[in-house]
Amino acid sequence: MAFAAVQCELMKRSLQEVAEAVGARLHGDGKAQVSGVASIVTASAEDLVFVEDEKFLASALGSRAGAVIAGGFAAAAASGKPMLISEHPKLAFARAARLFRERRGEEKVGGHAPCDSDARGAGAAREKVHGTAVVAASARVASGAVVGERAVIGEQAEIGEDTQIGAGCVIGMGVKIGAECEIYPNVTIYAGSTLGERVIVHAGAVLGSDGFGYVRDRTTGHCEKFPQVGRLVIEDDVEIGANTAIDRGALEETRIGRGAKIDNLVHIGHNCRIGENVVIAAQTGLSGGVVIENNVVLGGQVGIGEHARIEEGVMLGGQGGVLPNKVLRGKGVAFWGTPAQPVREYLKQLAVLARLGKKK
């Protein structure tokens, strides 16, 4: 990789292997070897690049890349450079990248040089539990798991196989983390939270914090804290961005569904239920008790009021807002604005307003 932080021997894969792993059709020399992914500009001879749009094919073929992943449009191209033909070249490229990551993962477990672009600090890769980590006596750290410098693992916590806990993380009492998770540095997980397998949590995220619930005493005006004693459950294959905060349930649970992807600086309040494969862009905030059904896509800086429900497959544009208790419905329907409306209607309103503004 052009920007590899540190020089190190990357494991190579033959194009034949890559083609099989990603489900692409190979044109050219299957024995040629590649070890990473790159852009057309930054590629070296050991990198794969990809082209989705035919107009970039010539640049890709003219680049230094070792091979090009491209759509069916490229099948007839005359090229000295090997090609992997796929119906969905970007997906094939992403899968190839995962293949290289996995190979590096194997190395790390085996004690080789930690050729991975993360910030866990190098020491972590050498010893399973770094000498400066504080692991409670009753905690269980599975084989292959790595606990970084100065991480703290509370009593009765469980860390799954091959999971990596970054430097400075604080894992509360009784937290269960599944296998093959990557927890980046300085993450805090409150007691009793549960994470599935292959969950990625970026630096500074806070999981399982108290929700924001108070009862105003009418006599004094003071706010009495409502109990926040539920828990947080994060299912498999979820990714959570840097400095995101997800609250535990008040009395029951907050749940993040399998495969959900959550960006940086997102807020998820107590008792929310996020469905499977939901995508939530940066700085979006969900109030308490919000339900987001499967496959919903929320843009950045979206705000959703208490107990609102966004039904399956809805898309809501950036900065959109949903009032408390409202329901947005329609698979594949795009909404926008505050209060959120179907985007076609909202655009009409904006057009009318622009015209009126010009009149006077």
- Distance in Å, CB of 27 to a copy of itself, minimum: 22
Binds a copy of itself (CB under 8 A): choice among 55, 76, 80, 360: 360
Binds a copy of itself (CB under 8 A): choice among 5, 45, 58, 75: 5
Which sign does the torsion angle of CA 98, 104, 106, 109 carry? negative
Binds a copy of itself (CB under 8 A): choice among 74, 141, 145, 171: 171
Angle at 66 between CA 60 and CA 72, to 5 degrees: 50
Question: How close are the terminal C-alpha atoms of the chain, in Å?
Answer: 57
Residues 179-208 binding a copy of itself (CB under 8 A) are 184-186, 188-192, 200, 202-206, 208
Binds a copy of itself (CB under 8 A): choice among 17, 29, 161, 210: 210
- Distance CA(100)–CA(90), nearest Å, equals 16
**Binding characters for a copy of itself, 287-326, by CB under 8 A (x = yes):** x------xx----xx-x-x------------xx-x-----
Nearest to 329 by CA among 303, 310, 302: 310
- By beta-carbon proximity to a copy of itself, the closer residue of 66 and 185 is 185
Segment near a copy of itself (CB under 8 A), from 9-17, 62-70, 282-290, 326-334? Answer: 282-290
- Distance in Å, CB of 42 to a copy of itself, minimum: 6
Nearest to 70 by CA among 35, 14, 28, 116: 28
- By beta-carbon proximity to a copy of itself, the closer residue of 73 and 212 is 212
- By beta-carbon proximity to a copy of itself, the closer residue of 29 and 140 is 140
- Distance in Å, CB of 268 to a copy of itself, minimum: 9
Residues 44-83 binding a copy of itself (CB under 8 A) are none
- By beta-carbon proximity to a copy of itself, the closer residue of 76 and 354 is 354
- Distance in Å, CB of 78 to a copy of itself, minimum: 27
- Distance CA(206)–CA(332), nearest Å, equals 31
Active-site annotation holder among 27, 130, 202, 270: 270
Report residue 342 as tokens: 């179907």
Residue 188: CB atoms within 10 Å: 17
Angle at 257 between CA 253 and CA 258, to 5 degrees: 140
- Distance in Å, CB of 341 to a copy of itself, minimum: 8
- Distance in Å, CB of 319 to a copy of itself, minimum: 5
Q: Is 88 a catalytic residue?
A: no
**Chain centre to alpha carbon of residue 2:** 23
Residues 97-156 binding a copy of itself (CB under 8 A) are 97-98, 101, 114, 116-123, 130, 132, 134, 136, 138, 148-150, 152-156
- By beta-carbon proximity to a copy of itself, the closer residue of 29 and 88 is 88
Q: Does an H or E element contain 109, and which?
A: helix 89-109
**Binding characters for a copy of itself, 214-253, by CB under 8 A (x = yes):** xx-xx--xxxxxxx-xxx-----x-x-xxxxx-xxx-xxx
- By beta-carbon proximity to a copy of itself, the closer residue of 6 and 58 is 6
Q: For every residue of 122-149, which 3-state class applies, written as one string?
A: CHHHHCCECCCCEECCCCEECCCCEECC
Q: Does an H or E element contain 208, and which?
A: strand 206-209
| Burial class of residue 9, CB neighbours in 10 A (0-12, 13-18, 19+) | exposed
Half-sphere exposure of 333 (CA within 13 A, CB side): 15
Residue 317: CB atoms within 10 Å: 19
Residue 269 within binding range of a copy of itself, rule CB under 8 A: yes
**Number of residues binding to a copy of itself, judged by CB under 8 A:** 138
Q: Does an H or E element contain 273, and which?
A: strand 273-274
Catalytic residue positions, numbered = 270
